[in-house]
Amino acid sequence: MASESVTVFKWNEKGVFKYFKFTPAVLEEFTISDNLTLIKEKKREFAQNNVSGKCKHCNYDSKVQFGNPSNWVRHIQTKHVSLFNEYKKNKTKKRARSPSLFLPKSPNAKKQTQETIEEALQPDTITKKKETAEKRKDAEKKLDVDKQERINKLLLDFIVSEALPLRTVESESFRNLIREIDPRVEIFCVKTLKKLLVDEIGKFKAEIQLKFENVESVCLTADIWGVKSRSFLGVTAHWVEKIGTDEKSHVFLRKSAAIAIKRFAGMSKFFVLFITKVAAQFVNRDAQLPYNCVEA
């Protein structure tokens, strides 16, 4: 099967180079891919390198810098006047701007006029220009996407781990604190925070379910506590995870994960129903949950 050919920028057919011939070794050394960005980069890279060639009309053999072939231009100017005139004509065409690059002007387009000194010194004009400059600076100073996402994750962890109200992210004092640390940080609102929480809960459930599918049994324990006249019930899952496949070298690790928390008013019936509901969410098995509930 024939290999795919790579498109190459034919620099030897451009400018003054077209009037000179080059050996295959030179063409290979100065190979440039036909890509606008790569062409610019390679031209800068090769600019100081010497390229050797022979004049196609008189076999004049010489070397010039790839980025400054002025000696060859001088050669065709003094030795081959007709070629030099052709070279100048092509260069003039290249510099001319093509009218197709520009959109046709609308007949209703307003003519832009330069503001006067009096207009420029008006307080409103100065204020508007300052605001525009500040917005431009802020846009230039934005954090990159990866760092902003890491900060969002840290803010989410902070709110959850400290059990803070979701409205904390919209607190002016909290925002002032973050801005003082780094004014480029964009702090999300409560609506975005709720969406992030839902996404994280979905990821957590999927990970736990995957772990439960690879273990023989899961033990659920419940803990009840009260804070400021409010009662809460939390459920924690416990399981043993086998690490390694070799029977002689494998180890067992005890794992735990808090999988649910709920505020409640009653006791025994609510306790049983809640445990059953949690188990149904995380354990995809038809077997009934064995439990004994004794009301205190």
User: Which position has the higher pLDDT, 112 or 67?
Assistant: 67
Side chain identity at 101, as an amino acid letter?
L
Chain segment 110-136, per-residue pLDDT in tens: 555 677 777 777 888 888 888 888 777
Side chain identity at 134, as an amino acid letter?
E
Residue 3's pLDDT band, with cuts at 50, 70 and 90, is very low
What residue has token string 């038809």? Answer: 286
What lies within 8 Å, CB to CB, of 126 at 6+ separation is 120
Tell me whether strands 20-21 and 50-55 are parallel, antiparallel or unpaired.
antiparallel
Contact indicator for 289, 276 with CB cutoff of 8 Å: yes
Eight-state DSSP code of residue 1: -
Residue 93's pLDDT band, with cuts at 50, 70 and 90, is low
How far is Cα 114 from Cα 153, in angstroms, rounded to an integer?
Answer: 48
Residue 155's pLDDT band, with cuts at 50, 70 and 90, is very high
Judged against a pLDDT cut of 80, whether residue 289 lies above it is answered with no
Q: At what angle do helices 268-282 and 190-212 cross, to 10 degrees?
A: 80
Residues comprising the chain, all counted: 296
Eight-state DSSP code of residue 47: T
For residue 102, the model assigns a pLDDT of 39
Judged against a pLDDT cut of 60, whether residue 201 lies above it is answered with yes
Side chain identity at 262, as an amino acid letter?
K
Contact indicator for 91, 19 with CB cutoff of 8 Å: no
Element containing residue 146 per DSSP (H, E):
helix 145-161
For residue 158, the model assigns a pLDDT of 92
How far is Cα 137 from Cα 53, in angstroms, rounded to an integer?
Answer: 50
Side chain identity at 59, as an amino acid letter?
N
CA angle 23, 26, 32 (to 5 degrees): 125
What lies within 8 Å, CB to CB, of 60 at 6+ separation is 54, 75, 79
Residue 269's pLDDT band, with cuts at 50, 70 and 90, is low
For residue 1, the model assigns a pLDDT of 43
Identify which of 271, 179, 187 has the alpha carbon closest to the alpha carbon of residue 224: 271
For the chain, state the CA radius of gyration. 37
Judged against a pLDDT cut of 60, whether residue 52 lies above it is answered with yes
For residue 95, the model assigns a pLDDT of 57
Contact indicator for 56, 20 with CB cutoff of 8 Å: yes
